[in-house]
Amino acid sequence: MKLEGLRVVVLGLARSGLAAAKFLAARGARVTATDSRPLEKLGSAGAVLDQLGISFLPQRAELLTSADLVVVSPGVPASVPDLEKARAAGVEVIGEVELAARFMRGPVVAITGSNGKTTTTALLGHLLATAGVAAQVGGNIGIPPTAMVESSREDQWNVLELSSFQLATTSNLHARIAAILNISENHLDWHGSMAAYIEAKGRILRGQTAADLAVLNLDDSVSASYAAQTPARVAWFSTRQAVSGGVWLSDGQLLLDGEAFMAAKDVPLPGQHNLENVLAAARMAREAGASLEAIARGVESFEAVEHRLEFIRTRLGVRYYNDSKATTPAATLKSIAALEGPLWIILGGKDKGLNFTPLREPLAGRTRAILLVGQDAGKIAGQLASVAPLEQMGTIDAAVRFAAQRAEAGDIILLAPACTSWDQFQNFEERGRFFKTVVRELEGD
C-alpha cells in the first residue's frame, strides 16, 4: 500500500489516532487530523500534531468524503454518520490496527475476548521471553500497532491484544495464531447489539488460512461456535474436559496434548478464569516455539498485571484488591469467584448498557455491603436491591474509608466496579491507581 501523497484523514485523537497520524506522516501521506471534540479538549494532542506538522480541523462530513483514506481510532463507532457518508462516497475507511497490519513484518498472534485478554497477552509475551522466542507485545495492552511496525521483523512474533472496537474496523488482518478466550455481554452501547459485538470479535479469524491456528474455549459456547468461521486448525482449551490436540486441566495438572507441564497449584494467579488464561497462553506459546519446560517456568515467574485482581495490602487482617479492569458484570463475577471471604465490594461508574442482575446470587450471603459509586449507581442499586446492604458512597475514596472503618479481620475490600471509569476518571488505570493510593494511605499495618 503506497501512502506517499495520499490524502488521509485520521478521525479520533486518543493514543491510537496519534500513533496512526505519526505513522502516516512519516511515510509521506498528506495527513489531516479531526475529532468530534475541539482541540483544546484533547489534552496533549495539539502539541503532538504541531510537532508532526499535521493540521487539525473540526469533524465534518465534507472533510471525510474528500479524502483518499480515512483511518479511525478504536473509540469511534463505525456507524458514525460522517463515516457512513465517506463510505458512500467511495472512500476507504479502516482502523488503526488494519493500517498497521498492512505494513507489519513477521507473524501475528492476535488475542481477544470479553475478559482476560490483557492478562493472557502479557503472559504470552512473558512466556516467549522466558523461552528465548523473539516477540514484541502491544495493541490494546499499551503500544498501538502502528507504533510497532518500525520494530517488527520477519523472525519476530507480534503479540497483539485486540478489543472489539479495534477489530470492528479490520478486514485484512492475518493472525498466524488467533485466540478468542470467552464472550459475554459487553459494549452494547457502542456496538448496538450482542450480535454485532460477536461479529466484531469474530473478525480476528477472517484472514486465517489452513496453515494457521485458532485457539478457542470449549467451555464457552460462543467462543466454541467460532470454530465454524475459520479454515485454520482449531486448538481447544478447557478446565472441564480433555480435548484432542489442545490444553486442559485434569486432577490438578495442566496438560498440553496429554503431557502434564505444571500443577495448577503452582499458577500464581488466583481464580479459575486465570487457569483458562494460562491454558490459552501455553498453547499459543507452544505453537510459537516455546518448550513445555520454559512455559512452566514462565507461568511460575509471571506477576499479575496491574489493575487485574491486583493484591494491594493487608491492613488489620483485611485484604484489599484492585480489579479496576473489571468493567462488566461478567468480569466482576470472575473476581468474586476468585476470592474467598466476606466481601465489601465497590461497584459503579459509567454503565455500558449491561445487566447487573447476574451479580445477585454470587453476592448474596457473603457480602457485608455493596458500596455504590459513580454515574450509574442508581441502576445498580435497583437491580441488586435486597441482595446485601447498599451504601451510596459517590466516590471511591469515600467507599474505601467507609469499609475500612467497619471491616473485620478476614474480610476483603474489593474494587471490581462492573462499569467503565469514564464518569470520574480518564480510564480504568487512573481509577485503579487512585484506589491504590487511597488504600495505601490508610493508617495501620
pLDDT digit string, tens, across residues 85-96? 999 999 999 999
d(CA 117, CA 291): 22
Q: Distance between alpha carbon 215 and the CA centroid of its chain, in Å?
A: 17
Q: Tell me what pLDDT residue 395 has.
A: 97
Reported confidence tier of residue 304, pLDDT bands at 50, 70, 90: confident
- Region 217-227: mean pLDDT is 96
230-247 pLDDT, tens digit each = 999 999 999 999 998 899
The domain covering 310-440 belongs, at the CATH homologous superfamily level, to Mur ligase, C-terminal domain (3.90.190.20)
Q: Tell me what pLDDT residue 63 has.
A: 96
Q: Tell me what pLDDT residue 102 has.
A: 96
223: Cβ contacts below 8 Å, ≥ 6 apart: 113, 180, 181, 182, 183, 216, 217
Q: Tell me what pLDDT residue 146 has.
A: 97
382: Cβ contacts below 8 Å, ≥ 6 apart: none
Q: Tell me what pLDDT residue 237 has.
A: 97
pLDDT > 90 fraction of the chain, expressed in percent and rounded: 83
pLDDT > 70 fraction of the chain, expressed in percent and rounded: 98
393-412 pLDDT, tens digit each = 999 999 999 999 999 999 99
The predicted model scores a pTM of: 0.80
95-130 pLDDT, tens digit each = 999 999 999 999 999 999 998 999 999 999 999 999
- Region 198-218: mean pLDDT is 96
**Cβ(73)–Cβ(16) under 8 Å?**
yes
CATH C-level class of 104-300: alpha beta
User: Mean pLDDT of all residues in the chain?
Assistant: 94
- Region 311-340: mean pLDDT is 92
Q: Tell me what pLDDT residue 270 has.
A: 84
Q: Is 84 helix (H, G, I), strand (E, B) or coil?
A: helix
Q: What order do you get walking across the sheet with 367-373 strand by strand?
A: 310-315, 318-322, 412-415, 343-348, 367-373, 390-394
Q: In the chain, what are the domain boundaries?
A: 7-96, 104-300, 310-440
Q: Tell me what pLDDT residue 190 has.
A: 65
Q: Tell me what pLDDT residue 444 has.
A: 65
- Region 286-297: mean pLDDT is 97
191 or 62, which is more confident: 62
Positions annotated as catalytic residues are 117, 140, 187
Q: Tell me what pLDDT residue 432 has.
A: 96
Residue whose cell numbers read 461497584 = 347
- Region 146-173: mean pLDDT is 95
CATH C-level class of 7-96: alpha beta
Reported confidence tier of residue 14, pLDDT bands at 50, 70, 90: confident
Q: Tell me what pLDDT residue 188 has.
A: 67
Is residue 445 predicted with pLDDT exceeding 60? no
